[in-house]
Amino acid sequence: MQMPTNRKPQSSKAHGEELLKVRDAAVELRVSYPTIKQWIYRKKIRSIRTAGGHHRIPQTEVDRLLFRTRAKTAPERKIDMRRLSGRNQLVGRIESVQISGLMAEVVISIGQQQITSIITARSAREMSLKKGQTAAALIKATEVMILRV
């Protein structure tokens, strides 16, 4: 029996809110499965229990914690976010990618706000930008660049 090579995160919906399996939330947040379980038990992350007793993590909770979990300490976060020279990098989730001709419009949701960037269609294709992926908006002067994280 062959296993699929590209496993998509499985999700469900409750009260109109997308729910992720604990393991999928851990992958998105780049933390271990046991860490997410501890966060659930310590009420650091909100979860919803299924009828079978399994935990599901609302996508909004993952989005809330997305920026905070890139590194454990302030110096690590600074190094992690400053690999490029830009000072203002905001991590969020891609809401839409519209490619038309030579240009692409990328909308990233960061918290309750959205940032729109116009980049080349080639760059969007090279980064394989798709709705739902994690990305960073690098804001430098009047320019907004997109980084796939």
Residue 109 inside a domain? The answer is yes
User: What is the share, in percent, of the chain residues with pLDDT greater than 70?
Assistant: 74
Reference 145, options 118, 111, 126, 125; nearest CA is 118
pLDDT digits (tens, 9 = 90+) for 20-48: 999 988 888 878 899 999 999 999 999 99
| Contact of 136 with 89, CB cutoff 8 Å | yes
Q: Answer whether residue 67 shows pLDDT above 80.
A: no
* Same domain flag for 60 and 109: no
* Same domain flag for 97 and 122: yes
Q: Answer whether residue 82 shows pLDDT above 90.
A: no
Distance between CA atoms of 41 and 36, rounded to whole angstroms? 9
Q: Answer whether residue 1 shows pLDDT above 70.
A: no
* Same domain flag for 85 and 138: yes
Residue 46 inside a domain? The answer is yes
| Contact of 11 with 24, CB cutoff 8 Å | yes
| Contact of 115 with 88, CB cutoff 8 Å | no
* Same domain flag for 86 and 54: no
* Same domain flag for 85 and 53: no
The strands making up 113-120's β-sheet, listed across from edge to edge, are: 113-120, 103-110, 88-100, 134-140, 143-148
Q: What is the pLDDT of residue 86?
A: 52
Q: What is the pLDDT of residue 52?
A: 92
Residue 95 inside a domain? The answer is yes
**CATH number, domain at 49?**
1.10.1660.10
Residue 20 inside a domain? The answer is yes
Q: How many domains does the chain have?
A: 2
* Same domain flag for 54 and 85: no
Q: What is the pLDDT of residue 61?
A: 87
- Domain membership of residue 109 as a residue range: 81-148
* Same domain flag for 141 and 86: yes
Count of positions (residues) in the chain: 149
Mean pLDDT of 46-69: 84
**CATH number, domain at 98?**
2.40.50.100
Per-residue pLDDT band at 134 (split at 50, 70, 90): confident
Residue 143 inside a domain? The answer is yes
Q: Answer whether residue 69 shows pLDDT above 60.
A: no
Looking at every residue in the chain, the average pLDDT score rounds to: 79
